[in-house]
């Protein structure tokens, strides 16, 4: 029940295209859903996050769509650029233990080609 399923495992998008990464969860107690971007040999960096009472959040070229009834959320990267090539992880925060624990998806390797 603590799992977060992420797809696809890898994604190749042409420059200027839209990258879409999907995540699904089971635990309805999750209360916060961040997305992280990780470059090789670096730690993850928070990209954008959403709470379950909001259906969409947009920050620049990055948008999270959240479907509470389906227990799914997705990251859309508009006008994808080669510099966006990285691994992306969705995550979900559990309220247990004071709202500390993050459960990560399996990651999506995005490659944006020229």
CB under 8 A: which stretch of 19-27, 34-42, 53-61, 62-70 binds another protein?
A: 34-42
Q: Nearer to another protein by C-beta: 62 or 104?
A: 104
C-alpha–C-alpha distance, residues 17 and 14, integer Å? 5
Q: State the number of binding residues for another protein (CB under 8 A).
A: 23
Residue 49 within binding range of another protein, rule CB under 8 A: yes
Q: Which of 7, 22, 32, 111 binds another protein (CB under 8 A)?
A: 32
- Give least dist CB 41 to another protein, A: 7
Dihedrals phi, psi of 87, to nearest 5 degrees? -100, 135
C-alpha–C-alpha distance, residues 57 and 63, integer Å? 6
3-class SS letters over 21-90: EEEEECCCCCCEEEEEEECCCCCCEEEEEECCCCCEEEECCEEEEEECCCCEEEEEECCCCHHHCEEEEE
Residue 109 within binding range of another protein, rule CB under 8 A: yes
Residue 54 within binding range of another protein, rule CB under 8 A: no
Contact residues for another protein, defined by CB under 8 A = 32, 34, 36, 41-46, 49, 89, 93, 97-102, 104-107, 109
């Amino acid at each position: 029940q603590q799992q977060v399923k992420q797809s696809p495992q890898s994604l190749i998008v042409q420059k200027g295209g839209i990258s879409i990464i999907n995540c699904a969860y089971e635990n309805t107690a999750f209360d916060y859903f961040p997305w992280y971007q990780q470059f090789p040999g670096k730690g993850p960096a928070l990209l954008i996050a959403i709470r379950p009472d909001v259906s969409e959040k947009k920050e620049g070229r990055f948008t999270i769509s959240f479907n509470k009834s389906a227990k799914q959320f997705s990251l859309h990267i508009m006008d994808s650029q080669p510099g966006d090539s990285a691994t992306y992880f969705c995550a979900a925060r559990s309220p247990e233990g004071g709202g500390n624990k993050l459960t990560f998806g399996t990651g999506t390797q995005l490659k944006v080609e020229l």
